Amino acid sequence: MARLPRLVIPGQPHYLVLRGNNAQALAVDDDDRRRLLALLRDAARERQVAVHAYSLLDSELHLLLVPPTAAAPAAMVQALGRRYVPGFNRRHGRSGALWQGRFAAGVVEAGAHSLDCMCLIDSLAVLRGQASAADGSPWSSAPHHLGKRHDVLLSDPAEFWALGNTPFEREAAYAARLQHGVDAQRAAQLLHAALKGWAVGSPAFLEDAARNTGRPLRPRRRGRPARRAAGAAPPVRRRQV
């Protein structure tokens, strides 16, 4: 089966995952991490991609971003690779590809779904055992969202601003959400959509997006359609009015 074209909807949040080839580290030490995030900031700014959340794990980079065009995410990742990978290879005496093939990305409806995605990304370091607390990971957007530091890589989406009228209210509300965590089923849904190139949102959002993109936004059910029993009447086709 031919691979579906990557699903990108300009102006909508996307959950993007970039993995190390054969699960190898994307950054070996803090110098690598600082350089990778600085180059990501430059690449996102040049392509006018708004980054709302990120988590740099040992062998993965997770992003919540909003692209202005369908080509912007790929252009951003390509620019990051051209600038980061050669220096990483020289520094660590290696050669070859660092990314695991194409990046993976799924569309997330703005609002409650994308706010859950932000919380999931900010919680990943804890969930993967790479930090004891979300605000203790300096390589994620959690400290920014909790008011611990200002991160120039990030821009806060409307749903984050809606958490409160003051910075203190927003930070406290977001801290409570992080403490509560993202429902396991929703977290799995978001990650599956990102890794498989699907979309997450309300039925109305998915229907509208499918109509506008002309491609499926969710996996089809496996197997062939059920056969009609012998002698059974064919399904009634309603005339469109």
Looking at residue 236, what is its pLDDT? Answer: 46
Do 73 and 8 contact (CB within 8 A), yes or no?
yes
Beta-bridge partner residues of 55: 62, 140
CATH number at residue 102: 3.30.70.1290
For residue 218, tell me if it sits in a domain: no
Establish if 195 belongs to a structural domain.
Answer: yes
Within-domain flag for 178 = yes
Strands (E), 127-222: 199-200
Task: Give the single-character DSSP code of 226.
Answer: P
Does 92 fall in a domain?
A: yes
CA 140 vs CA 35, 37, 143: distances in Å: 14, 10, 7
**pLDDT tens by residue, 18-31:** 999 988 999 999 99
DSSP state string for 138-157: TTBSHHHHTTS---TT----
In a domain, 224, yes or no: no
65 or 135: which leads in pLDDT: 65
pLDDT in tens, 42-51: 999 999 999 9
Q: How confident is the model at residue 218 (pLDDT cuts 50, 70, 90)?
A: low
Instruction: Count up the domains in the chain and report the number.
Output: 1
In a domain, residue 134? The reply is yes
pLDDT in tens, 79-129: 999 999 999 999 999 999 999 988 999 999 999 999 999 999 999 999 999
Residue 102 lies in a domain: yes
What's the confidence (pLDDT) of residue 152? 96
Per the structure, the complete domain to which residue 119 belongs is given by: 14-202
pLDDT at 231: 54
Q: Give percent of the chain above pLDDT 90.
A: 77
Average pLDDT, integer, range 219-234: 53
State the chain's mean pLDDT as an integer.
89
Residue 166 maps to a domain: yes
